[in-house]
Amino acid sequence: MDSIQRGASLVLFLVIAVFSVLFGRLFYLQVLNFEELGTASSVASIRRVWEQAPRGRMIDRNGDIMVDNQPLYSVKVVPAEFQLSKAALLARLMHMPADEVRDKILKGKRFNRFSAAPITKNLNPVLIARLSENLWQLPGVLIEADNKRRYMGSVYGSHLFGYVRLVSKEQLETLSEEGYTQEDKIGFSGLEKIYEERLKGQKGARFRMVNPLGRYVGRYDEGRSDIAAIRGDDLYLCIDAGLQQLAEELIRETGKSGAVVAIDPSNGGILALVSAPDYDLEIFNGSTDPDGWRSIMNNPQKPLFNRTVQAVYPPGSIYKMVLAMAALEEGKVDPDAIFLDRGSFVFGRRAFRNHAGHALGPIDMKKAIIHSSNVYFYSLIFQAGFENWTKYGQILGFGTETGIDLPGERSGLLPSTEFFNERYGRGGWTKGYLISLAIGQGELGTTPVQLAAYAAALANRGTWHQPHIVKGYRDAATGRYVPLGYRHRKLPLSEKNLDYIRNAMRGVVAEGTGRQANLPDIEVAGKTGTAQNPHGKDHAWFIAFAPMENPKIAVCVLVENSGFGGSVSAPIARELIRYHVQEKLPPLSDSTGTAAVRPTAPGRNRDSSAAAAETVLQAQPQAQPDAAATEAPAARRESAGNEPQTASEDETE
């Protein structure tokens, strides 16, 4: 009996002990550690939150940072944690209408009251500071920092740098496989688009635990599984920020649309590239400014149009040198032979004239280039032949894209026998069509970047380099600088003939139609050109390079609706050459080595290089007009006599 009682007592003791342990553990789980384990028990999934990588910077040839990053602040609200009565306070702190804030919170609550609803983004640092000071009154309000671009204040560079925007639904259909999401930004224009793969970096990821309602309950694996973002690669540009700034200001002073391309003749690196009118990239930075967007879209000058690579106009007299080179290389003419310029050239039943019918008298090829004789080149194209005119245009890079690292480049148009046969039919055109082509008019179309590359090839005595803006990048993962390679080719042109053309170009600036590009201490060579415009004043071209020996810069300037290239475009080229070769302005970086933000351009204060711009376009002595100003309309119709209407009988320059 005693043994049975002892056994029962032992069993009872064991039962009490077991239940005590169980109740103790239950007390620990439910009371002492309820938050951690209660939360873990309710976790439905692990959510991956992408962390955007800072985009790579853009750095000019002198080490100045032209494009960097800065914080992009956005405000979100978790509806389940926010008191709607505080909406007015939140709106006041952010300078937003209270109704708009309340509507966004309610919209987010209907979607998921535990998910953060976006209220605004691109909030300025002052408002963010005010909001941060009052967060204690606003439970459920979150401030998140992303990245947006920071631009050098002295340069717009709108067609150069380009901008980013959110991935569109259409893009997402193809880019989702590459890791893009609807919240990602992607390069949309300019270098941002061309070098997207380099600039975007690698996104990071944070892993978060959420409950079945989507509410955040903690970090997964204490954050040990999180992946850090890797910033994008920095691009090193051939651009000279000071020259870019000056080019923007000079062409802006004209009040006209146009383009400037400056290039290093030794390697094809772009020193400055401007399309006018431009626009402020801040309009698209972080979030699109509606007023700014409307001003761009309503501007009849089409600021989004990149004239450096997309504007296709006849080059006018600039192309006379191609015809001269063709005649020289093919041995079709003696350049020293005297030609009597009587002021007009008769073909069929028409007379095609020089500017205002002026006769230049006895001239050779060099004088014909210097003084831009139309009559000489009307005759020369029949001696050289149309096939050679086309052949040497192709050799010098016309009729095809240059391959510059910008989107949307056009190839221009280089007519040929095949082109005319296809367009007009065999026998549907006559040699009269060549009259306009002889002086760079008619169907011939070139872009500013093509003419800049052409000028550079003449400058360096016959090597064509692929124009390019980016010379290399620094790999963010390895820290290694990687130079980029570009095409170049030696042109099949004799050095003797190249020197002949170069010396003639020097004469254009020293004594001919381009005298306004002359500099006292620098030998500048150039050529004027005028593109006919049936809708108004003609477009002014000018190409140049300097110094004659060991050239450092080649330039193409286009100013639309401005008349003669010698009077409008040549002074702009002169000041760019002066700056690059002779007069470097103070450095654009401060003592810390970072880009100095110096306001300029429309709506901004101007700084030192603006002074040069102000003096260039003041009243100057009348330049001699370029001879191919109004010789031949681009659009032509057959006359009753089946002759092309390439020029009026009393032609002006």
Closest CA to 354 of 430, 414, 438: 438
Question: Residues of the chain with pLDDT > 90: what percent?
Answer: 47
**CA 487/CA 433 separation, integer angstroms:** 34
Q: Which residue has the tokens 């384990």?
A: 37
Res 22: pLDDT: 74
Res 624: pLDDT: 44
Residues 6+ away with beta carbon under 8 Å from 241? 60, 62, 64, 66, 152, 154, 155, 588
Res 11: pLDDT: 66
CATH 3.40.710.10 placement within the chain: 249-277+309-616
Averaged over 450-456, what is the pLDDT? 98
Res 440: pLDDT: 93
**Tens of pLDDT, residues 145-186:** 778 889 988 899 999 999 998 888 888 878 877 777 777 888
CA angle 554, 555, 561 (to 5 degrees): 165
Which position has the higher pLDDT, 39 or 467?
467
Strand partners, 276: 258
Q: Count CB-CB contacts under 10 A for residue 211.
A: 17
Res 519 pLDDT > 80: yes
Res 645 pLDDT > 60: no
- Amino acid identity of residue 301, one-letter, is Q
Token code pair at residue 471? 């010379």
Res 7: pLDDT: 62
Res 228: pLDDT: 84
Averaged over 207-231, what is the pLDDT? 75
Res 450 pLDDT > 60: yes
Res 285: pLDDT: 80
Most confident of 77-81, 168-172, 418-422: 418-422
CA distances from 320 to 248, 646, 648 (A): 29, 16, 20
Res 43 pLDDT > 70: no
Averaged over 541-557, what is the pLDDT? 96
Poorest-pLDDT segment among 365-379, 530-544, 581-595, 620-634: 620-634
Averaged over 462-471, what is the pLDDT? 97
Averaged over 574-597, what is the pLDDT? 61
Most confident of 344-358, 590-604, 621-635, 639-653: 344-358
What's the whole-model pTM score? Answer: 0.80
Res 216: pLDDT: 62
DSSP H stretches of helix in 495-541: 495-511
Residue 248's pLDDT band, with cuts at 50, 70 and 90, is very high
Averaged over 395-408, what is the pLDDT? 96
- 3-class SS letters over 23-64: HHHHHHHHHHCHHHHHHHHHCCEEEEEEECCCCCCEECCCCC
**CA 547/CA 543 separation, integer angstroms:** 13
Res 17: pLDDT: 72
CA angle 190, 195, 201 (to 5 degrees): 125
Most confident of 82-91, 116-125, 228-237: 228-237
Token code pair at residue 455? 């000028």
Mean per-residue pLDDT of the chain:
82
Is the Cα torsion angle 76, 82, 87, 92 positive or negative in sign? negative
**Tens of pLDDT, residues 262-294:** 999 999 999 999 999 988 888 888 777 788 788
Residue 593's pLDDT band, with cuts at 50, 70 and 90, is very low
Res 318 pLDDT > 70: yes
H-helix or E-strand containing 616? helix 610-616
Residue 609's pLDDT band, with cuts at 50, 70 and 90, is very low
For residues 402 and 453, is the Cβ–Cβ distance under 8 A?
Answer: yes
Res 215: pLDDT: 61
Poorest-pLDDT segment among 515-524, 570-579, 598-607: 598-607
Res 27: pLDDT: 64
Res 16 pLDDT > 80: no
Q: What is the CATH number of domain 249-277+309-616?
A: 3.40.710.10
